[in-house]
């Protein structure tokens, strides 16, 4: 039985989060206090203070013959701009008349255009808003520090649906802040935030950006986003932003035909115009061959890191930056963009994460740290969805051995794999389509999440996974908070316990923070798999052991191979009635230890069906019993499969059991030579 104090602490934190009664500590600060000086700032930049305050307008319009600024500050009359003598193709105006929060537009040869670099916009009136980022009250000197790589547990959040059912009428950023203590109690310390750039309309997944420097007004705008980031840091949570630069729009794009009108399929200076590269299936592709376009994109990253104090980025569909025509041809200009952006981050914000959705490690040295492991998600989904007798543990064990360190972000669900726009569903709805809340669906979903949290790489949960959300992810559907509060509170606790063990918050499972994974036991007939986790080169006694019963029946005194003899303590049993009253509740409790006598490494275990157990040699503080293990025949280490076999078998297994996943890695084009 888990000690009462531990359970009370977690649920007291959750209750405090719901009631909004926390007195938070003084706001933490990000790593930089504001934008670094730019000798030729672009967009609308507020400089100076008081009587010396002025605004510099600078925009790129190489085809224009006349450019002017109109706005609230001049009664929307046209104030001519001059060609910038230091930057070819740019136009500039320095004026003391404009003030922060006033609207403005560029008039380019009679065309009214909002500033593509505006930090805020009013799309209904097609105007930009002047913002002074220096005015935001970040507060005292910083105390925020990005968590270490081996401590990160990520949570993919769509802020609008995350906040929609949280009481109140304030914008989503503000309401989402009320639930940050809940995430902290869960053990989450990094939010991967789905895109929040301004987009056309008020509801979206966010992958249709119209203004890449501006924050969606419906979410709370620039200051709302800064409030959210500041509150996240106060709660010990990093924020990594999902960004979209493989395409823009497709509608109401600020930089579309910016300095001249043209054909409907000709986007002008910011976009490719040749038929092969100008479009993706989601919208027009920026022209990465132009230095001005690459600067436009890289400057937006600098702004988010410096002015918003973000902790990194996840680049959407890198495939459509590095390749075109569906992957038939590589695009060296896309590689150049990625290399420039990541190199600036490496030099100036080495702590910030650089994550790609895909194609991070194709040759070319584009500088990513990690990549979403969509192939592992598809494999894991197929594995747990399969009929019990059809699970190929030998194949899955080989797949686990390929997970190498911090190159991968692993997950059981993401917005793509569970989203309505892709005609996909949540994992429980695939496991048991008729009754996704069944004990079997809950047990297998929890087991899948347990695998994600106990293998090498960065673990990530899609919002709602922790409460066993069974509805398709959609921008129309609010996160069902009632499940976490009531019917599935045990499932939340089960995931919290897993996350706390992954992060070794109680000092019981340090092996889960290591990079090494060793298969200890693989019985494809009994459907039992075990692996150890440890730091590279660590002694076997320091390992954390994970045991999976993937069969549809409980096990009684089934012998599992462990790394060494000695006393092993159980720290987690997903089949416990603590998490669901209708689970089998078979197997060791988290207050029990088992003594393997010298020379014996096989531990006979009772296990619930579809369950995951975690052991280490570190005793918990509340041990009630240690039992000498019954004698058992020694089990030989599993025989490795041939190196060339697993990948193709896994592909066939996935193809047979699940619909094609849209972002499986694409083979390199034949002409690409890393």
> What DSSP assignment string belongs to 56-73?
EEEEE-TT-S-EEEEEGG
Q: Which mean pLDDT values do the consecutive 10-residue runs of the chain (674 residues) have?
A: 39 44 33 57 96 97 98 98 97 98 98 98 97 94 88 99 96 98 98 98 94 98 98 97 98 96 89 95 97 99 98 98 94 97 98 97 91 97 97 97 92 98 97 98 99 98 98 98 95 98 98 97 98 94 98 98 98 98 97 96 98 98 93 80 45 39 31 25
Q: How far, in Å, CA of 315 to CA of 242, rounded?
A: 6
DSSP 8-state secondary structure symbol assigned to residue 508 = S
Q: Which of 70, 38, 43, 75 shows the shortest CA–CA distance to 56?
A: 43
* Rounded alpha-carbon distances, angstroms, from residue 475 to 65, 203, 653: 43, 6, 31
The count of C-alpha atoms lying within 13 angstroms of the C-alpha of 21, restricted to the half-sphere facing its C-beta, is 7
Confidence at residue 426, expressed as pLDDT on a 0 to 100 scale: 98
Q: How far, in Å, CA of 138 to CA of 149, rounded?
A: 26
Q: How far, in Å, CA of 269 to CA of 258, rounded?
A: 7
In the chain, DSSP finds a helix count (H) and a strand count (E) of 16, 31
Q: How far, in Å, CA of 540 to CA of 613, rounded?
A: 18
Q: Which of 163, 247, 154 shows the shortest CA–CA distance to 192?
A: 154
Specify whether the CB–CB gap between 674 and 335 falls below 8 A: no
The whole-model pTM stands at: 0.91
Please provide the size of the chain in residues.
Answer: 674
Phi, psi of 226 (to 5 degrees): -65, -40
Place of tokens 């954390």: 544
Written as six digits, the tokens of 426 are 């949540």
Q: Which of 536, 600, 538, 535 shows the shortest CA–CA distance to 567?
A: 600
Confidence at residue 642, expressed as pLDDT on a 0 to 100 scale: 52
Q: Which of 17, 20, 313 shows the shortest CA–CA distance to 183?
A: 17
Q: Which domains does the chain have, with CATH numbers?
A: 4-28+139-352 (3.20.20.80), 43-135 (2.60.40.10), 375-628 (2.60.40.1180)
Q: How crowded is residue 126: how many other Cβ atoms within 10 Å of its Cβ?
A: 14
Strands 353-356 and 370-372: parallel
Strands 611-616 and 566-573: antiparallel
Confidence at residue 652, expressed as pLDDT on a 0 to 100 scale: 42
Q: How far, in Å, CA of 127 to CA of 600, rounded?
A: 74
Confidence at residue 359, expressed as pLDDT on a 0 to 100 scale: 95
479: left (phi over 0), alpha (psi -120 to 50) or beta: beta
Strands 312-315 and 238-243: parallel
């Amino acid at each position: 039985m888990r000690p009462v104090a531990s359970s009370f602490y977690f649920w007291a934190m959750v209750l405090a989060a719901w009631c909004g009664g926390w007195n938070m500590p003084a706001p933490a600060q990000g790593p930089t206090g504001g934008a670094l000086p730019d000798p030729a700032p672009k967009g609308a930049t507020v400089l100076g203070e008081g009587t010396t305050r002025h605004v510099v307008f600078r925009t790129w319009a190489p085809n224009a013959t006349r450019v002017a600024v109109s706005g609230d500050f001049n009664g929307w009359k046209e104030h001519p701009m001059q060609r910038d003598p230091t930057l070819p193709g740019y136009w500039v105006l320095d004026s003391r008349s404009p003030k922060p929060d006033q609207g403005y537009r560029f008039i380019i040869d009679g065309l009214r255009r909002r500033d593509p670099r505006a930090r805020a916009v009013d799309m209904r009136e097609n105007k930009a808003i002047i913002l002074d980022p220096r005015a935001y009250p970040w507060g005292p000197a910083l105390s925020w520090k990005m968590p270490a790589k081996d401590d990160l547990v990520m949570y993919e959040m769509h802020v609008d649906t995350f906040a929609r059912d949280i009481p109140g009428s304030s914008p989503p950023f503000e309401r989402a802040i009320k639930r940050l203590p809940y995430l902290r109690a869960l053990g989450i310390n990094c939010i991967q935030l789905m895109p929040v750039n301004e987009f056309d309309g008020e509801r979206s997944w966010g992958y249709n950006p119209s203004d890449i420097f501006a924050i969606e007004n419906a979410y709370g705008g620039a200051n709302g986003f800064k409030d959210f980031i500041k509150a996240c840091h106060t709660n010990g949570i990093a924020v990594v932003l999902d960004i979209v630069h493989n395409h823009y729009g497709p509608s109401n794009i600020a930089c579309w035909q910016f300095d001249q009108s043209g054909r409907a399929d000709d986007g002008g200076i910011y976009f490719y115009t040749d038929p092969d590269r100008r479009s993706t299936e989601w919208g027009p592709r920026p022209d990465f061959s132009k230095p001005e376009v690459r600067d436009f994109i890289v400057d937006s990253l600098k702004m988010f890191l410096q002015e918003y104090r973000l902790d990194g980025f996840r680049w959407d569909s890198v495939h459509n930056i590095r390749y075109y025509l569906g992957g038939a041809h590589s695009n060296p200009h896309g590689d150049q963009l990625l290399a420039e952006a990541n190199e600036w981050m490496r030099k100036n914000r080495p702590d910030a994460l650089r994550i790609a959705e895909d194609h991070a490690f194709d040759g070319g040295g584009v500088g990513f740290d990690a990549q979403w492991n969509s192939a592992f998600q598809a494999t894991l989904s197929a594995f747990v969805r399969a009929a019990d007798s059809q699970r190929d543990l030998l194949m899955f064990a080989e797949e686990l051995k390929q997970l190498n360190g911090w190159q991968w972000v692993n997950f059981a669900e993401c917005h793509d794999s569970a989203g309505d726009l892709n005609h996909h569903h949540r994992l429980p709805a695939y496991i048991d389509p008729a009754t996704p809340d069944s004990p079997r669906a809950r047990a297998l979903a929890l087991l899948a999440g347990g695998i994600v949290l106990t293998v090498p790489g960065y673990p990530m949960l899609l919002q709602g996974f922790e409460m066993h959300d069974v509805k398709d992810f959609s921008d129309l559907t609010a996160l069902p908070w009632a499940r976490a509060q009531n019917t599935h509170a045990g499932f939340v606790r089960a995931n919290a316990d897993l996350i706390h063990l992954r992060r070794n918050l109680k000092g019981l499972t340090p092996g889960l923070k290591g990079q090494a994974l060793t298969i200890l036991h693989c019985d494809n007939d009994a459907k039992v798999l075990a692996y150890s986790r440890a730091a590279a080169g660590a002694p076997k006694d320091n390992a954390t052991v994970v045991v999976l019963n993937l069969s549809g029946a409980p096990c009684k005194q089934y012998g599992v191979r462990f790394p060494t003899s000695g006393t092993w303590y159980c720290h987690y049993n997903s089949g416990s009635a603590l998490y669901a009253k209708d689970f089998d509740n078979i197997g060791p409790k988290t207050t029990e230890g088992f003594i393997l006598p010298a020379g014996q490494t096989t531990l006979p275990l009772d296990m619930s069906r579809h369950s995951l157990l975690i052991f280490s040699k570190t005793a918990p503080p509340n041990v009630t019993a240690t039992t000498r293990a019954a004698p058992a025949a020694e089990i030989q280490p599993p025989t490795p499969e041939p190196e060339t076999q697993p990948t193709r078998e896994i592909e066939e297994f996935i193809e047979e059991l699940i619909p094609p996943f849209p972002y499986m890695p694409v083979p390199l084009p034949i002409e690409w030579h890393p």
